[in-house]
Amino acid sequence: MENTKIRVALAGNPNVGKTTLFNAITGSRQHVGNWPGVTVEKKTGIRSYRGYDIEVTDLPGTYSLTAYSLDEIVARDYIIEEKPDIVIQIIDASNLERNLYLTTQLMELETEMIIALNMCDLALERGDKLYIDRMQEILAAPIVQTVASRDIGINELLDRVIEQKYNDKYHGREIGYGDIIESKVLEIEKILLTDPELSKRYPLRWMSIKLLEGDRNVRTKVGKSHVSAAINELLASIDQEEYEADIADKRYVAINAIFPQMCTRCNVRMTKSDMIDRVLTNKYLGIPIFLALMWGAFELTFAFATPFTDMIERIFLWLAVNVTSRLEPEWLASLIGDGIIGGVGAVLTFVPNIFILFFLLSLLEGSGYLARAAFIMDRLMYKIGMHGKSFIPLLMGFGCNVPAIMATRSIEDEKDRLITILVVPFVSCGARLPIYILLAGAFFGRQAGTVVFFMYVLGIVVAVISAKLLRSTIVKGKPAPFIMEMPPYRVPTLRTSIVHMWDNGAMYIKKAGTLILIGVVIIWLLASFPWGIEYGSEESYVGMMGHFFAPLLEPLGFDWKMTVALVFGLVAKEIVVASMGVLYGAGDSPEALTASLLADPAVTALSALSLMVFSLLYMPCVATLGVIKKETGSWKWTAFALAYGIAVAWIMAFFVYQGGKLLGY
Amino acid sequence: MSEITLDTLKPGDLARITKMRVKGPARRKLFDMGMVAGSEIELVRTAPLGDPIEFQIKGYHLSIRKEEASQIFVQKIE
Ligand SMILES: Nc1nc2c(ncn2[C@@H]2O[C@H](COP(=O)(O)OP(=O)(O)OP(=O)(O)O)[C@@H](O)[C@H]2O)c(=O)[nH]1
Ligand SMILES: [Mg+2]
């Protein structure tokens, strides 16, 4: 027998635990973090429960059904247009008053609703008294208490979902807006009623209220109807700003009237969080602490990983020596030794760094510090023409640029968002890290750490200067107002951090085993042919290719092997290291890549530095370009990102190399 | 009692909103976030560089820039 399907949407304010609940219900591992705006796309999962297939959709958070940013539009459109059977509003029990504001609007949609009162642990811990029965009566919707982060209340919630499916129409109670507004609502409803199409699709009362509020989206919906002239005339005759203020006001008045019956002793301050903030956002300490945290995270990424990377390097060396020397025929030994172990191995060596990097980023996201970073940095960001919120994608970019660019969806203003998308690729992602460790480690000895840190700083500096440039040339204007909720600090859950680290680490390994492997085999083939040449020599196809591009890159100090590495690195930056592994690792006695690099007279400390700078900046990888296209919706901007990156990289590397030579290095 | 703007409060000061004069898209957003006339609001802290400002309103923390705060009128609650 076919299971009955129930479509459920998870709606609610940002950062109330929707995704945590979604993961708990469906067993998924979607990204969770303690700042508003983590989820920017809808995600669907299915849970079979008591003979039902419950299709759950996790939505981005929204404060109101009038949407401002792209992620909010996704949420609103889903609720209004896709008409799920049941909407579960997740409410943060420790932040009831503001969460109810969305409830008042959801009720006007006249869909079946269940309320999941999440974060009950926090509310109870600080001594709130919640009156669930009373709340249920007032809101006329079933209420389930949950602690999503500890899987509490999930089954009860699913039971309610099934019950609700068979309930007779059981609407929540809508609030009243007072004589003046209500009489206008009636007038508009009457006009709308003459269009049966509209009245079939959307609740009329909701539409009327939204029109009075000046909701542009509803206005376009009506704009296509024959009633639009009458509506426009009516709306032109009123002072919209007054109505807008009045409606919001009436909603909060209604909440004020019911709120004290649902909860007493609420609104106690989060004292622990306040104490932490007194230090972390302190007038004098705030910025030094931020810098110290960044430096600390950077140090940990390397220091912690070193013993592990050394070990992995030794394993590959051992493999190269012992396995390949016994392999026959010779070409197979070369493919496995020079190609796969040399190339893929070079990438895999840095897996520990990637794991630590993502673990630390997850701690940053889970603690609530990201919102503080935006708060601390907004002033500086504003000066360079960026929005404080843009700081969050920039920091996320240290992991991977792709989700960082997606995260810009929660930036309301189009121009603020465009600038952020265009500069995120300069933030040094995890895939670039192996290049620095390899080259800095080989050529800069004890200064290696400083050199790598300099690369990270350079990425940020270039991003910032580019933003300033864009603001004063192509994307003119001022950053939009900064309006941001500051969530209380939370102890990041170990489970979330480990999942985040593992999923991203696994992705890196998988990429090494697929895309990078293919790239490596191609490079090896090109390095081995035509027949009869010496492997990896200038007569090989890669050699020819390198020489073809070399004139362009010669002023930057790159020999043909580096040139080849950079060309293949266009696909994914890990390939830069992989192809160096393939090309430099070649030789009779397999030795560590570091040693072969040092032995090669064409590679000097200066050209290595220049190569690092160039790899950092030269181009967003293919995946990043794809997401830039998707998020800007424009080939023009995608091409711009590509061309601009290459130009900046060339100029910077030129200055580093030629400047260094002038200084006598 | 005299009307002052939100940005002139000191940390720890409690006030009641009387008029919200912010224009543009931010206006709606601020309403949604609870910045309506009659709401109690407390200035919690200023960012290290002097802007934005963090407030407590409706039981949660919200930060906005001085520019917007200077267009929100309040009455101090002693
Ligand atoms: N104490 C406690 N923390 C929770 C609970 N549910 C979620 N959290 C935490 O709340 C934060 C936000 O969780 P998310 O699931 O990312 O919230 P969201 O509603 O999906 O947020 P957006 O996608 O930004 O709208 C995370 O730090 C969670 O660990 C809960 O029941 N109790
Ligand atoms: Mg989410």
Q: What is the pLDDT of residue A427?
A: 95
Say how far apart CA A179 and CA A185 lie, in whole Å: 10
Amino acid at residue number A541: Y
Cis peptide before A142 (omega within 30 of 0): no
Preferred mutation among B7, B22, B36 to probe A, highest tally of A CBs within 10 A = B36
A36 CA to centre of ligand 1 in angstroms: 9
Which residues surround the ion ligand 2 when the cut-off is CB under 5 Å?
Answer: A 18-19, 38-39
The CA distance from A271 to the nearest CA of chain B, in Å, is 12
Whether the pLDDT of residue A1 is over 70: the answer is no
Query: What proportion of chain A, given as a percentage, has pLDDT over 90?
Result: 54
Instruction: Give me the mean pLDDT over the A411-428 stretch.
Output: 94
Strands of A483-485's sheet, edge to edge?
Answer: A483-485, B60-64, B53-57, B40-46, B14-20, B72-77, B3-5
The answer to whether A144 and A153 have CB atoms below 8 angstroms apart is yes
Nearest atom, ligand 1, residue A21 CA: 15
The CA distance from A664 to the nearest CA of chain B, in Å, is 41
**Domain-wise residue ranges, chain A:** 4-165, 179-264
* C-alpha triplet A211, A113, A130: angle, nearest 5°: 110
Say how far apart CA B17 and CA B39 lie, in whole Å: 6
Preferred mutation among B29, B35, B39, B54 to probe A, highest tally of A CBs within 10 A = B29
Q: What is the pLDDT of residue A271?
A: 78
Whether the pLDDT of residue A614 is over 90: the answer is yes
Whether the pLDDT of residue A590 is over 50: the answer is no
Q: What is the pLDDT of residue A621?
A: 87
Q: Report CA-CA distances (Å) from A186 to A209, A212, A361.
A: 10, 11, 52
Whether the pLDDT of residue A594 is over 90: the answer is no
Say how far apart CA A356 and CA A334 lie, in whole Å: 33
Nearest atom, ligand 1, residue A366 CA: 27
In terms of Cβ atoms closer than 10 Å to its own Cβ (0-12, 13-18, 19+), residue A561 is buried
Q: What is the pLDDT of residue A574?
A: 87
Say how far apart CA A208 and CA A218 lie, in whole Å: 9
E strands, A76-182, where? 86-92, 112-118, 129-130, 143-145
The CA distance from B70 to the nearest CA of chain A, in Å, is 12
* pLDDT tens-digit profile, chain B (78 residues): 578 999 999 999 999 999 999 988 899 899 999 999 999 999 999 999 998 999 999 989 999 999 999 999 999 988
Q: What is the pLDDT of residue A332?
A: 83
**Could you give the count of Cα atoms lying within 13 Å of A360 in the half-sphere of its Cβ?**
22
Contact B59 A412 (CB under 8 A): no
Confidence category of residue A171, pLDDT binned at 50, 70, 90? low
Domain that holds residue B22: 3-77
Confidence category of residue A534, pLDDT binned at 50, 70, 90? confident
Say how far apart CA A645 and CA A615 lie, in whole Å: 10
**For A4-165, which CATH class?**
alpha beta
Q: What is the pLDDT of residue A531?
A: 77
Whether the pLDDT of residue A186 is over 80: the answer is yes
CATH number at residue B65: 2.30.30.90
The shortest CB-CB distance from A244 to any of B31, B64, B65 is to: B31
Say how far apart CA A444 and CA A380 lie, in whole Å: 33
- Alpha-carbon dihedral B28, B30, B33, B38, rounded to 10 degrees: -110
Confidence category of residue A589, pLDDT binned at 50, 70, 90? very low
Q: What is the pLDDT of residue A588?
A: 45
Whether the pLDDT of residue A437 is over 90: the answer is no
Tell me if chain A has a CB within 8 Å of the CB of B28. Answer: yes
Contact B25 A68 (CB under 8 A): yes
A 196-225 near B (Cβ less than 8 A): 213-214
Q: What does the block give as tokens for A229?
A: 């002239």
DSSP calls for A448-470: HHHHHHHHHHHHHHHHHHHHHHH
pLDDT digits 0-9 by tens, A497-531: 999 999 999 999 998 888 889 988 888 888 888 77
End-to-end CA distance of chain B: 10
Confidence category of residue A335, pLDDT binned at 50, 70, 90? confident
Query: What proportion of chain A, given as a percentage, has pLDDT over 70?
Result: 97
Q: Phi/psi at A319 (nearest 5 deg)?
A: -60, -45
Mean pLDDT of chain A: 89
Contact B48 A287 (CB under 8 A): yes
Confidence category of residue A319, pLDDT binned at 50, 70, 90? confident
Amino acid at residue number B71: Q
Q: What does the block give as tokens for A68?
A: 């401002």
The answer to whether A162 and A7 have CB atoms below 8 angstroms apart is no
Instruction: Give me the mean pLDDT over the A201-211 stretch.
Output: 92
Q: What is the pLDDT of residue B53?
A: 96
The CA distance from A246 to the nearest CA of chain B, in Å, is 9
Instruction: Give me the mean pLDDT over the A142-170 stretch.
Output: 89
Report the SS3 class of residue A239. Answer: coil
Say how far apart CA A636 and CA A556 lie, in whole Å: 28
Instruction: Give me the mean pLDDT over the A417-421 stretch.
Output: 96
Q: What is the pLDDT of residue A603?
A: 85
The answer to whether A581 and A342 have CB atoms below 8 angstroms apart is yes
Nearest CA in chain A to B20: A245
Instruction: Give me the mean pLDDT over the A588-613 stretch.
Output: 80
- Integer-rounded Cα Rg, in Å, for chain B is 11
Residue with more model confidence, A264 or A284: A284
Convert A279-310 to b/e letters by CB count within 10 Å (16 or more is b). ebbeeeebbebbeeebeebbeebbeebeebbe
Whether the pLDDT of residue A591 is over 60: the answer is no
Nearest CA in chain B to A382: B51
Place of tokens 């009458």: A230
Q: What is the pLDDT of residue B1?
A: 59
DSSP calls for A200-234: HHS-HHHHHHHHHHT-HHHHHHHHTSTTHHHHHHH
A332 CA to centre of ligand 1 in angstroms: 52
Q: Name the CATH topology of A179-264.
A: Helix Hairpins (1.10.287)
Contact A68 B28 (CB under 8 A): yes
Nearest protein Cα to ligand 1, atom 32: A119
Largest CA distance in chain A: 92
Q: What is the pLDDT of residue A366?
A: 93
Nearest CA in chain B to A92: B60
Contact A412 B63 (CB under 8 A): no
The answer to whether A92 and A118 have CB atoms below 8 angstroms apart is yes
Domain count for chain B, please give it: 1
- B15 - beta bridge partners? B41, B76
